[in-house]
Structure 1
Amino acid sequence: MTIDFGKLVLKAPLFTFDFTYNLMRSFITHTEDSVNASIDEYINKGPEAYEIEICAEEGIYQHVEQYKGLDSQDVFLDDIFKNHFPSVQRRSALLTLVATYEHELERFCDIYAKRHNSPIKLNDLKGQGLERVHLFIKKIIGLQDSKIFPTIKKIIKLRNSCAHNDARVLEKDGQPIKAIEELIKDDAVNVTQDGNQIHIAEGFLIFVLDLFDSYTDEIKTKVKAK
């Protein structure tokens, strides 16, 4: 018997959350390895020191350190390379992590609606992104009392600030962002305030990943119970 593979229709799996988790965990490990390698390089090689002559006759010189195009006249090199740049890398990684789960959960909603001939599709609902996804999950799947999504909503606020507001803890009108304040005050979350900006420390990305993993577990449990 000859099989015409061109006519085969493969059923899309409903759940691909385990693959997404493993992919994002590897991505986070790679990010943290890169961050730590950059910090180690700065510590081991250190900035280059040089002198600027102010007044040779009176023996007045200014000592300046320089590293990768930045110098100590303009910035605190230790703070930039040990704290600020690592946080910026993690902010970028957070955008990727949240966007990946947003796409994955939207895909899940579309497949579920098609497979069960749902009268309501994801695009029928108001809103966007993960909040619209959660509305679908509540209305169609019946997950009314998620213990995880309230914290994910705070992560969305932080993600939005990183993407659109230079990771600031204040709205553009100067008002505090309550969700970010609550994350900063939570000792279990590796986020602090650095001036007017959010500082993301090692461990935060795994915390967010585990949140999404727990949320998808809630979804799977509810679907299997239907």
Structure 2
Amino acid sequence: MFPNIEDYDRTDIRQLGLYAWKFDLVALRQLIEFNNDGLNLKISDLCNEAIIANEIGDYRRHCDLTMETMSFHKIEPWMFQSTFLSLYSVVEASLDRHCDICRKRFNLSVRKEDLKDKGIVRAVGYLEKVVEVEKITSDNRWAKMLNLNKLRNDIIHRSGIVENPKNIILYKYEFNIEVVDGKIYINYENMITIYEHIERFVEFVFLRDCKDKNRNFKI
């Protein structure tokens, strides 16, 4: 369900930013469900057709349908890797926008681009060091995001191949993600786990107060 503006404080720019971000988040959740349901339906239909072909003695068609079913099973990890990358990019963009809004709000001379890091590390560093919000990096939600950053890098830069053995253990422990024959295998349940963590993390970041109580986010 898309967010209701009545559930957010319209006098707080953080709440308004969170409200806008939730639209992207909910759309991605619907995409996850739509893709999962569609894939499962296709596999179910193929299985049923294969059973019928076997029952009527059309063994060649049964074999062809079985092979096609197996090929659709291989779609799942690729499908959810792509969904994960889309979700991660939405997080990066949202945090960057939040940094820009904070800079304008408090008339800060330092921009996020002035920091040496990139991506979510740069955004969180900017919020902590320049905007001076309450600590983010000491929280376990941040530690999990750093692990998702490793997952993202393995998918983008190594086509889902895990070269570091420690990451195989890490992905299993944190997100129950299997690495099969050296490749990351993200399934529906993994994707929901990742989605829910990202939702909690972004809400946590957006709602940090400034350590300087003279700085507030009220319009």
- 1:195 maps to a residue whose letter is D
Task: State the shift of 1:30 in Å.
Answer: 1.8
- 1:25 maps to a residue whose letter is R
Q: 2:124 maps to what in 1?
A: 134
Structure 1 unaligned regions, length at least 5 = 1-10, 52-63
Higher relative contact order (CA 8 A, sep 6+): 2
Does the CA-based 8 Å contact 2:98-2:206 persist in structure 1? no
- Aligned CA distance change for structure 1 residues 196 and 19 (closer, same or farther; 3 Å): same
Structure 2 unaligned regions, length at least 5 = 1-12, 214-219
SS at match of 2:160: coil
Task: State the shift of 1:216 in Å.
Answer: 1.8
Pick one of 114, 124, 136 that aligns with 1:124. 114
Q: 1:223 maps to what in 2?
A: 209
CA RMSD of aligned residues (A): 2.8
Does residue 194 (structure 1) correspond to residue 184 (structure 2)? The answer is no
More strand by share: 1
Does residue 182 (structure 1) correspond to residue 175 (structure 2)? The answer is no
- Aligned CA distance change for structure 1 residues 49 and 116 (closer, same or farther; 3 Å): farther
Does the CA-based 8 Å contact 2:43-2:69 persist in structure 1? no
More helix by share: 2
**CA deviation map 1:68-95 (0-9, x unaligned):** xxx95xxxx655432x211111111111
List aligned pairs for 1:64-103, cutoff 5 A: 65-67=63-65, 79-82=70-73, 84-103=74-93
Q: 1:204 maps to what in 2?
A: 190
Does residue 169 (structure 1) correspond to residue 173 (structure 2)? The answer is no
- Aligned CA distance change for structure 1 residues 14 and 203 (closer, same or farther; 3 Å): same
Does residue 50 (structure 1) correspond to residue 43 (structure 2)? The answer is no
**CA deviation map 1:3-29 (0-9, x unaligned):** xxxxxxxx9944323323322222222
Identical counterparts, % of pairs:
21
- 2:134 maps to a residue whose letter is G
| In 2, Cα distance between equivalents of 1:215 and 1:185 | 18
SS at match of 1:222: coil
Q: 1:35 maps to what in 2?
A: 39
| In 2, Cα distance between equivalents of 1:215 and 1:96 | 16
- 1:114 maps to a residue whose letter is K
| In 2, Cα distance between equivalents of 1:38 and 1:196 | 27
TM-score relative to the length of structure 1? 0.72
